[in-house]
Amino acid sequence: MATYAIGDIQGCFSHFKNLLSIINFNSHKDRLWLVGDIVNRGPESLKTLKYIKNLGKSVTMVLGNHDIHLIKLAGGNENQKNGDTLSETLASPDIQEIIDWLRKKPLFHYEEDYAMVHAGILPQWDISQTVALANEVEEQLSGNEWRVFLPEVYGDYPNFWNENWTGYTRFRVIINALTRLRTCTSDGKMDFEYKGGLDQIPKQRMAWFDIPGRKTKKINVVFGHWSSIGLHTKNNATCLDTGCVWGRSLSALRLEDQRVFQTDCLNDD
């Protein structure tokens, strides 16, 4: 039995299947951890969703910002953006079943020595608090009022955590941290504009995993979302977004021995 954490798939189904072949994935004994953004920008989001859904309990995944975007589109709360490739998915006759499955996925997963999140964790949150805060949002997203909930939790502000936040403001900060965070100040003020590499981060900001005193520093964290830094491990945090949708590669990390497996995504699906 092995557990493989895989970076952002983004609808690149054929490359995903090729990577599963490379690791000799066996759904009866192995496990997949998917760091989110399984849909959008790539050509085959619908196939990707259906395949992962059919894998059942062998898959543990967290939601990424593109996955939440799809849920919001299906709820009639948003229009597609330039670059979206979700028309086929939204037109599927079983879209409601897919969305009901997707919106019940977690934003954060913690198990033994590993945690998984799509983007990042604010430096002042420890593991137990992160689990609890993610659960607050998950309860809303999986509930019957999800269509009402989602439009109210989008926006860049506030971009910092306050224990006294309540309601939609509180939910917005939680979602932004877990699905959009890349850089922040030492006290956790998030910057959503910067998407570049580690060498040109604006002054007074750092990669979230480099913040001194980060309370999750002793926990192994796998994440995605930051294709500009590619495969990168520092301070027990490993980025697995290696830019498959941009023609680079799709990566898997075997948690048991830290071995990395990759497939080339240069050719179009």
**C-alpha–C-alpha distance, residues 183 and 207, integer Å:** 4
**C-alpha–C-alpha distance, residues 48 and 61, integer Å:** 13
pLDDT in tens, 203-236: 999 999 999 999 999 999 999 999 999 999 999 9
Identify the CATH number of the domain in which residue 246 sits. Answer: 3.60.21.10
Here the tokens at position 127 are: 């593991």
pLDDT in tens, 8-39: 999 999 999 999 999 999 999 999 999 999 99
Among residues of the chain, what percentage have pLDDT more than 90? 96
58-81 burial, b at 16+ Cβ within 10 Å, e below that, comes to ebbbbbbbbbbbbbbbbbebeeee
Q: How confident is the model at residue 268 (pLDDT cuts 50, 70, 90)?
A: low
Look up the domain containing 37 and give its range: 3-264
Q: What total of structural domains would you count in the chain? A: 1
**Domain assignment of residue 269, yes or no:** no
**Domain assignment of residue 62, yes or no:** yes
Beta bridge partners of 264: 249
**Domain assignment of residue 182, yes or no:** yes
**Domain assignment of residue 11, yes or no:** yes
**Domain assignment of residue 225, yes or no:** yes
Find how far residue 113's CA is from the centre of its chain.
19
pLDDT in tens, 112-154: 889 999 999 999 999 999 999 999 999 999 999 999 999 999 8
Residue 201, CA distances (Å) to 193, 213, 251 in order:
11, 19, 24
**Domain assignment of residue 44, yes or no:** yes
